[in-house]
C-alpha cells in the first residue's frame, strides 16, 4: 500500500511577517528515472535581489510515495543555480512527515529515520540561491522516481518561502590545506554508475597557502559516484572516483604526493565531527608495521558550492605501492599461481559489496540463524574465475576448520598453519582500542599472498572507523569498558565470526597478545602518542573546521549515531575524544588477557622501520616514503653507480609515524642511482632508474 511522504516544513509559517511564500501545483511522477519538473513563477518578490538580507529561507513539498529512498529532488533558480534537496537515502524507507529542509535549523544534523519528522539540512545549501540574482522568473523543482514499480506516485503540492535573515553563499578563495574543485556540468552524482566530471587539485605543498587562482597541481577528467552504505543518508555525501583520460578510460594518476593509481575516495566523515577517527585507525595500523590507506585532508568545492572538509584517500587496492601481493590473473588457475594473491572481506552487500560465499561456520551469536558472508574484492566478482573462487573458499574453510578442531592451538597443525598470528593480534588491538561497534563483522578486510611468498591469511588493512572511538550510541560503542569482539546485540543481522573468542582460548595467543600490548604501550600506543597525534591533526584543521561547521551547523547537535553529550565546539569534540581514549587505554591495561614474561618477542618483522620510493622509473620528482616506530635520527643521501654522493640531507629528528620526502632528480643524467636512508644507525637503501 502506498504511504504518504510529507515534506510539509511546518516552520515555513513561523518566520517573520515579511516572509513571502509562493506555492505551486503537483502532478504524477513517472517511475522511469527521468526528472519530472514542476514550476513556480513568483508574482512579485519584495526585494530587487536575493542575498543575506532577504532570500530563500525554505522549500516545502508534499509527496505521495512508498519508498523515499528512491527519490531525488532538486530546485533550480531562474539564473540556473541548482540545489539538491534530497538524493537517494539508503536507510530511509517510508513516510517523510513534517520534514523541514532549511539552511538554518536547530536539528540540522539529525539522521532521517521513520517517521522522518523534524528539521534537516538539504544536501546542498539553500544559501547558493541568495547570490544577488533577482529571483524573478521561473523556479523549477525536479523530482526523479527511481522505483520502476511505483506507478501511483505524485507530487501533491510545493512551495518556496523567501524572507529576511537568510544565509549568503560562502565562497572559498584560499585555504591552509589543499583545495579540490569538482564540476559535473549540471549532472547529479548518482550512486552508480560513475558520471564524467572535471577535477582540479590546488596544492602548493606543506606550509604554503593554496589559492584558487594558483595553477592547479592536477586538472583533468574523472568518473565520480556517491559511495557508502548507511552514510548515504547524510546530506554531506562521500564520493568514489577514478582518474580518467579524455575518452573515459581509467588511468593511473598521482594526487597530493600519493603513489599513482586510478581509484580514489573523498570521505565526508559527516558523523565524525573531529575528522580524526578514520585516519587515527589508519595511522595506528601503519605504525604497527602494516600497509594502511594514505590520506590527506582537503576542502572540497562541488559545482561552485563549498562542501567542507574531506579526507582524500587511497582505496584499498592490490598494488606494489599499496597492498603488495601477487597479481592474480584470469589465466592463473593452477599450481602455485592460483594460491594468491587474494583480497576478500566481511561486509554488507550494499555500498561497495558484491558476490562471495557463506562461511561453513556460524558466528559466535546466531539466534536468528545469522551467517558470515565473505565477499570477493581482488580479483573482483567480475574477474575472478571458478578455480580461483574454489581455491580461496577452500583455503578459508581450512583455516576455520583448523580453528574449530580440538588441537586448534597446535603451532604445527592448528590455525597458524593457515594464518599469520601477529596480524590477528594487531587487528584485535586496533578494534579493541577503538571499541569499534562495527569491528570484526563489517568492513573487515583480509588478504592472502601466493604460497611461494608466504601464503597465509593476514588480517587487514583496517577500514571504516568513523563510528568507532566513542562515536556510536548503540551496542556499547560509547562506553570505555568491555570488549568489542563480544558484540552485545545478538539480534543484529551482522555478527562477529567465532574466530576471536576462539583465539582467546589459546594460551600462547593470549601471551603473545599481552606482550605485544605491553610493547606497543611503551611507544606507538602510549597516552602521549595519542595526545600528540590528535593535537597534530586537529591543529591542521583548525582554520578549515570553522568553514566546515558554518556550512554544516552540526556542532552540539545529534548526528546518528553520536553519543550524548554533544560538544558545542570543535575543541570540545577533540577533547572528548582524548578523554575517552585515556579511559579506554586504562581499562585495556587492566583487562588485557595473557601473561608476558618479556616483551622481546613482540616487535614483529612487519613492524620494522622501512622505506619505499616512487615513481620508479622517475623523470623529475622522486618520493621517498619511510616509517619510524620510535623517535629516531634520520639521514638521507643519493648516490650514483660510482659511489659518489650527489645529494646529502641534514640529519632530522623524526617521531613515530610515516614521513614523505620529495627529491628533485630532474638534473641527474639517465641511469641507475641509490637512495640511502639511515634511521637511528640502521641503513636502508633502494635503487631507482632516472629516465
Instruction: Tell me which residue has cell 523543482.
Output: 141
Q: Are residues 272 and 303 in the same domain?
A: yes
| Joined grid coordinates for residue 8 | 510539509
Instruction: Report the C-alpha gap between 653 and 51 in whole angstroms.
Output: 52
Q: For the purposes of burial, counting CB atoms within 10 Å of the CB of 681, is it exposed (0-12), middle (13-18) or buried (19 or more)?
A: exposed
Is the residue at 654 inside a domain?
A: yes
| Joined grid coordinates for residue 34 | 527521468
Instruction: Report the C-alpha gap between 167 and 158 in whole angstroms.
Output: 21
Q: Are residues 245 and 132 in the same domain?
A: no
Supply the pLDDT for residue 6: 40
Q: Are residues 245 and 304 in the same domain?
A: yes
DSSP 311: E
Are 221 and 182 in contact, with CB atoms under 8 Å apart? no
Short-list 312, 233, 266, 267, CA closest to 466: 267
Considering 134, 164, 194, which residue would you say is the last residue of a domain? 164
Instruction: Report the C-alpha gap between 531 and 658 in whole angstroms.
Output: 17
pLDDT tens string 484-502: 999 999 999 999 999 999 9
pLDDT tens string 654-665: 776 667 788 888
Are 225 and 190 in contact, with CB atoms under 8 Å apart? yes
Supply the pLDDT for residue 231: 62
Supply the pLDDT for residue 209: 97
Supply the pLDDT for residue 114: 38
Instruction: Report the C-alpha gap between 606 and 289 in whole angstroms.
Output: 5
Q: How far from chain centre, in Å, is Cα 138?
A: 39
Q: Are residues 106 and 215 in the same domain?
A: no
Q: Are residues 145 and 281 in the same domain?
A: no
Q: Are residues 122 and 45 in the same domain?
A: yes
Q: Are residues 27 and 126 in the same domain?
A: yes
Close Cβ partners of 210 (under 8 Å, ≥ 6 residues apart)? 174, 175, 176, 177, 178, 179, 202, 203, 204
Instruction: Report the C-alpha gap between 460 and 227 in whole angstroms.
Output: 21
Structural domain boundaries enclosing 118: 4-164
Supply the pLDDT for residue 612: 79
Kindly report the CA angle at 487 between 483 and 491, in degrees rounded to 5? 165
Instruction: Report the C-alpha gap between 675 and 323 in whole angstroms.
Output: 23
Is the residue at 617 inside a domain?
A: yes
The per-residue DSSP string of 39-75 comes to EE--S--SSSS-SSSEEEEEEEEEEE-S-GGGEEEEE
Is the residue at 486 inside a domain?
A: no
Is the residue at 93 inside a domain?
A: yes
Q: Are residues 11 and 159 in the same domain?
A: yes
Close Cβ partners of 531 (under 8 Å, ≥ 6 residues apart)? 578
Residues β-bridged to residue 301: 181, 306
Q: Are residues 234 and 137 in the same domain?
A: no
Helix (H, G, I), strand (E, B) or coil at 548: helix
Paired sense of beta strands 218-227 and 238-243, if any = antiparallel
Cβ neighbours around 238 below 10 Å, total: 20
User: What CATH number is given to the structural domain containing 30?
Assistant: 2.60.120.260
Are 506 and 409 in contact, with CB atoms under 8 Å apart? yes
Q: Are residues 189 and 152 in the same domain?
A: no
Considering 296, 314, 332, which residue would you say is the last residue of a domain? 314
Short-list 516, 492, 681, CA closest to 604: 516
Percent of the chain with pLDDT over 90: 58
Number of domains in the chain: 3
Verdict on whether the full-model pTM lies above 0.85? no
Helix (H, G, I), strand (E, B) or coil at 536: helix
Q: Are residues 27 and 150 in the same domain?
A: yes
Supply the pLDDT for residue 119: 57
Paired sense of beta strands 99-102 and 118-120, if any = parallel
Helix (H, G, I), strand (E, B) or coil at 394: helix
Q: Are residues 31 and 92 in the same domain?
A: yes
Considering 144, 164, 184, which residue would you say is the last residue of a domain? 164
Instruction: Report the C-alpha gap between 184 and 637 in whole angstroms.
Output: 45
Supply the pLDDT for residue 175: 97
Is the residue at 502 inside a domain?
A: no
Instruction: Report the C-alpha gap between 15 and 13 in whole angstroms.
Output: 6
Instruction: Report the C-alpha gap between 497 and 399 in whole angstroms.
Output: 13
Strands of the 36-40 sheet, one edge to the other:
36-40, 139-145, 71-76, 82-86
User: What CATH number is given to the structural domain containing 683?
Assistant: 2.60.40.1930
Is the residue at 382 inside a domain?
A: no
Instruction: Tell me which residue has cell 565531527.
Output: 273
Is the residue at 288 inside a domain?
A: yes
Is the residue at 361 inside a domain?
A: no
Supply the pLDDT for residue 448: 97
Ranges of residues in the chain with a pLDDT under 50 are 1-17, 90-98, 105-117, 599-601, 605-607
Amino acid at each position: 500500500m502506498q504511504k504518504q511522504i510529507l515534506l510539509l516544513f511546518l516552520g515555513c509559517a513561523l518566520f517573520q511577517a515579511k516572509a513571502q511564500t509562493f506555492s505551486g501545483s503537483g502532478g504524477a511522477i513517472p517511475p522511469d528515472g527521468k526528472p519530472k519538473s514542476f514550476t513556480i513563477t513568483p508574482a512579485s518578490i519584495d526585494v530587487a535581489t536575493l542575498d543575506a538580507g532577504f532570500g530563500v529561507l525554505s522549500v516545502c513539498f508534499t509527496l505521495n510515495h512508498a519508498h523515499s529512498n528512491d527519490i531525488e529532488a532538486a530546485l533550480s533558480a531562474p539564473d540556473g543555480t541548482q540545489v539538491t534537496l534530497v538524493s537517494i537515502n539508503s536507510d530511509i524507507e517510508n513516510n517523510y512527515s513534517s520534514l523541514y529542509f532549511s539552511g538554518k535549523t536547530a536539528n540540522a544534523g539529525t539522521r532521517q529515520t521513520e517517521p522522518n519528522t523534524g528539521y534537516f539540512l538539504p544536501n546542498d545549501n539553500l544559501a547558493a540561491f541568495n547570490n544577488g540574482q533577482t529571483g524573478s522568473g521561473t523556479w523549477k523543482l525536479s523530482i526523479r522516481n527511481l522505483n520502476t514499480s511505483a506507478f501511483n506516485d505524485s507530487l501533491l503540492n510545493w512551495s518556496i518561502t523567501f524572507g529576511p535573515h537568510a544565509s549568503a553563499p560562502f565562497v572559498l578563495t584560499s585555504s591552509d590545506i589543499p583545495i579540490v574543485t569538482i564540476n559535473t556540468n549540471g549532472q547529479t552524482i548518482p550512486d552508480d554508475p560513475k558520471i564524467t566530471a572535471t577535477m582540479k587539485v590546488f596544492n602548493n605543498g606543506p606550509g604554503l597557502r593554496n589559492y584558487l587562482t594558483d595553477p592547479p597541481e592536477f586538472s583533468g577528467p574523472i568518473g565520480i559516484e556517491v559511495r557508502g552504505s548507511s552514510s548515504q543518508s547524510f546530506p554531506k555525501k562521500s564520493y568514489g572516483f577514478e582518474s580518467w583520460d579524455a575518452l573515459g578510460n581509467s588511468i593511473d594518476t598521482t594526487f597530493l604526493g600519493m603513489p599513482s593509481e586510478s581509484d580514489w575516495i573523498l570521505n565526508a566523515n559527516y558523523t565524525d565531527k573531529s575528522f580524526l577517527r578514520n585516519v587515527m585507525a589508519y595511522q595506528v595500523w601503519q605504525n604497527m608495521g602494516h600497509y594502511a590507506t594514505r590520506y590527506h585532508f582537503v576542502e572540497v568545492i562541488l559545482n561552485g558550492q563549498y562542501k567542507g572538509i574531506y579526507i582524500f584517500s587511497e582505496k584499498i587496492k592490490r598494488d606494489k605501492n599499496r597492498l603488495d601481493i601477487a597479481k592474480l590473473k584470469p589465466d592463473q588457475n593452477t599450481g602455485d599461481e592460483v594460491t594468491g594473491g587474494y583480497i576478500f572481506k566481511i561486509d554488507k552487500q550494499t555500498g561497495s559489496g558484491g558476490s562471495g560465499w557463506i562461511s561453513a561456520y556460524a558466528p559466535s551469536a546466531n539466534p536468528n540463524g545469522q551467517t558470515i558472508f565473505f565477499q570477493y574484492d581482488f580479483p573482483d566478482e567480475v574477474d575472478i574465475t571458478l578455480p580461483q573462487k574454489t581455491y580461496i573458499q577452500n583455503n578459508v574453510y581450512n583455516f576455520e576448520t583448523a580453528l574449530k578442531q580440538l588441537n586448534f592451538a597446535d603451532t604445527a597443525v592448528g590455525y597458524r598453519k593457515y594464518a599469520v598470528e601477529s596480524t590477528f593480534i594487531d587487528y584485535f588491538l586496533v578494534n579493541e582500542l577503538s571499541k569499534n561497534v562495527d569491528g570484526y563483522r563489517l568492513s573487515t578486510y583480509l588478504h592472502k599472498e601466493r604460497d611461494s611468498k608466504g601464503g597465509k591469511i593476514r588480517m587487514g588493512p583496517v577500514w571504516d572507523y568513523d563510528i568507532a572511538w566513542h562515536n556510536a550510541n548503540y551496542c556499547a560503542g560509547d562506553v570505555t569498558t568491555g570488549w568489542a569482539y563480544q558484540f552485545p546485540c545478538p539480534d543484529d543481522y551482522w555478527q562477529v565470526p567465532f574466530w576471536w573468542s576462539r583465539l582467546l582460548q589459546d594460551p600462547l595467543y593470549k601471551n603473545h597478545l599481552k606482550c605485544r600490548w605491553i610493547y606497543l604501550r611503551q611507544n606507538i600506543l602510549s597516552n602521549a602518542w595519542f595526545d600528540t597525534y590528535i593535537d597534530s591533526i586537529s591543529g591542521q584543521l583548525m582554520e578549515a573546521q570553522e568553514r566546515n561547521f558554518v556550512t554544516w551547523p552540526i556542532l552540539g547537535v545529534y548526528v546518528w549515531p553520536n553519543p550524548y553529550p554533544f560538544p558545542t565546539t570543535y575543541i570540545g569534540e577533540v577533547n572528548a575524544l582524548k578523554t575517552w581514549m585515556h579511559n579506554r587505554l586504562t581499562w585495556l591495561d587492566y583487562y588485557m588477557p595473557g601473561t608476558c614474561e618479556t616483551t622481546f618477542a613482540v616487535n614483529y618483522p612487519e613492524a620494522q622501520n622501512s622505506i619505499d620510493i616512487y615513481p620508479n622509473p622517475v623523470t623529475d620528482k622522486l618520493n621517498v616514503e619511510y616509517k619510524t616506530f620510535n623517535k629516531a635520527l634520520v639521514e638521507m643521501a643519493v648516490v650514483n653507480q660510482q659511489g659518489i654522493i650527489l645529494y646529502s640531507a641534514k640529519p632530522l629528528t623524526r617521531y613515530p609515524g610515516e614521513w614523505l620526502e620529495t627529491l628533485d632528480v630532474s638534473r641527474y643524467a639517465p641511469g641507475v642511482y641509490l637512495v640511502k636512508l639511515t634511521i637511528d644507525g640502521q641503513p636502508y637503501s633502494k635503487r631507482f632508474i632516472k629516465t
